[in-house]
Structure 1
Amino acid sequence: MKHIISLVALVASVTAHSTFQELWVDGVDQEGTCIRTPPSNSPVTSVTSSDITCNVGGTTGVSGLCSVAAGQTVTVEMHAQPGDRSCSTEAIGGNHFGPVIVYMGKVTDATTADGSGAIWFKVDQEGYDVPTKTWGTMTLNDNCGKRTFTVPSSLAPGNYLLRAEVIALHAAGSSGGAQFYMSCYQLAVTGSGTANPSGVSFPGAYSASDPGILIDIYQDITSYTIPGPTDVFTG
C-alpha cells in the first residue's frame, strides 16, 4: 500500500508540472511563434544555474519575433501539456502554489541573445494575498492559464526578452525545494519612449535562502515577499 500511495503522489506531482507556451498581443493570439519552448514541463530547481534565465535550452533563440507597441497589453499563457489549451485543466495544478512574475530585459537581438547580458526588470507580479489566502497561481488557474499586463508606455523601443515565471512553493520548506517554471518570449517593442529601467541579472537575482523562496507555505503566513526586485516598472 505504501508503494501505491508513493506512486500516486509521484504521478500527481508530474502531471502538475507546466510551461508557459503562448502569447497574446492586445487580445490577438500569437500562439507559439516567438517563444523559446522548454523541452519538457519539468521545473528548474537551481537558482545559480544558467537554466534559471530562460529554462533548459533557453539560451538558444528562435526565428520568430512578436511585435508589440509600448502601451499595449500582453498576455502570457501557461498550461500543463504542450498544445493543451483547455480551460477544464488547471494551468498548474495539484498543490503547486506560489507567485507569478513577469520580467522584461532589453537585448540587441532577441532571436540570438542568451539572456545573460540583459538587465531584467519586473513588469507584473502577484504573490500571496493574506486576507483571502490567494496565491498568484490560483488567479492564473482561474483565468485559464492567462496573465495580462501592459507594456510600459514609456519603454524605449527595441528588442526584448520577456520572462514569464511561476515559482511553485509546495516543497520549499527546505533549501532547493522551490520549483521554477519559466519561458522566454522574443519581442520587438515599438514606440517613442525613452525609458531603460534598472533591474537584475539571471542568474544572480535570486538566492536559495530568499524569504520568498525558502518558505513553509503550510504554516500560517502573515506576509510574503515576492522574490526579485521590489519595484514593478509600469512606466
Structure 2
Amino acid sequence: MKLLIPLLAGGLSSAHTIFSSLEVKGKNLGVGQGVRVPSYNGPITDVTSASVACNGNPNPTTGSPVVIDVQAGDTVTAIWRYMLSTTGSAPNDIMDSSHKGPTLAYLKKVNNAATDSGVGGGWFKIQEDGLSNGVWGTEKVINGQGRHNIKIPSCIEPGQYLLRAEMIALHGAGSYPGAQVSP
C-alpha cells in the first residue's frame, strides 16, 4: 500500500519548537521538504482555532509542493527544532526542557496532499506518548535529539494523507490560555 503524505509541521507553542523535517527509511528529506514549516516558533494556544490543524496566525507556514511517499506500516520520524538553525545536539535545541507533556500524531485523508489546508474534520490519531514511568513524551523527543518516531498503521488504505505531528507543553495548563500545542 502506498501513502502520499505532505506533512503539516509547525511550532504551536510557547514551547517554542518547530517540526522542521521528516525522516523516511532513515533518510532526512531536508527542512521544508514535504513539511509546512512555520515562520515563527511561538504559541497557538486556542485549540478551537483552525490554525491548530496546519499552523497559521501567528505561525504562517510556507507550503511545499513535495508529497512524500510512505508505505502503510512504515515508521517515519518527525524532526523537531527550537529554531530552524539549531542542530538538536543540545536539549534546549529542541525546546525548553521544562516544557513537559505528550507527543501525538494524526492523519487526515485528502484528495490533494500538496494543497489541502487541513482545516476541518477527518483527522484521526495514530500515535500518543503521554506520561509513562515518570517520563513525558516531550522529554523522550528532547532526549532523542528532536526525533519523534511515528508508526503509520499497517491498516491505512492507499491514498494521500496529511500527517500532523504534535507536542503539547503542559507547564501553563493550570491557567488561561493553558496548554501550548506545537503541531
Q: Structure 1-normalised TM-score?
A: 0.66
For 1:83, the equivalent position in structure 2 comes to: 85
Return structure 1 stretches of 4+ with deviation > 6 angstroms.
none
CA contact (8 A) 2:110 2:160 kept: yes
* Superimposed CA distance per residue, residues 58-117 of structure 1 (whole angstroms, 9 cap, x where no aligned partner): 5x7421111111121111010101132232243111411111111111110011111124
Rounded Cα–Cα distance in structure 2 between residues aligned with 1:147 and 1:175: 28
Matched residue, 2:5: none
Percent identity (aligned): 38
8 Å CA contact 2:23–2:77 kept in 1: the answer is: yes
2:156, 2:178 → 1: CA distance?
Answer: 35
Unaligned runs of 5+ in 2: 1-12
Bigger CA radius of gyration: 1
SS at match of 1:128: coil
Normalising by the residue count of structure 2, what TM-score does the alignment of the two structures yield? 0.84
Whole-Å separation in 1 of the counterparts to 2:130 and 2:144: 16
- Residue 30 (structure 1) aligned with residue 33 (structure 2): no
Q: Which runs of 5+ in 1 are unaligned?
A: 1-12, 183-235
Shift of 1:36: 0.6
Q: What SS does the aligned partner of 1:134 have?
A: coil
Q: Distance in 2 between matches of 1:72 and 1:115?
A: 22
Q: Which residue of 1 aligns with 2:53?
A: 53
Give the length in aligned residue pairs. Answer: 166
| Residue-by-residue CA offset, 1:29-54 (whole Å, 9 max, x unaligned) | 11221011111010111011111111
**Alignment partner, residue 150 of structure 1:** 151
CA distance in 2, matches of 1:150, 1:165: 14
* CA distance in structure 1 between the partners assigned to 2:64 and 2:130 by the alignment: 31
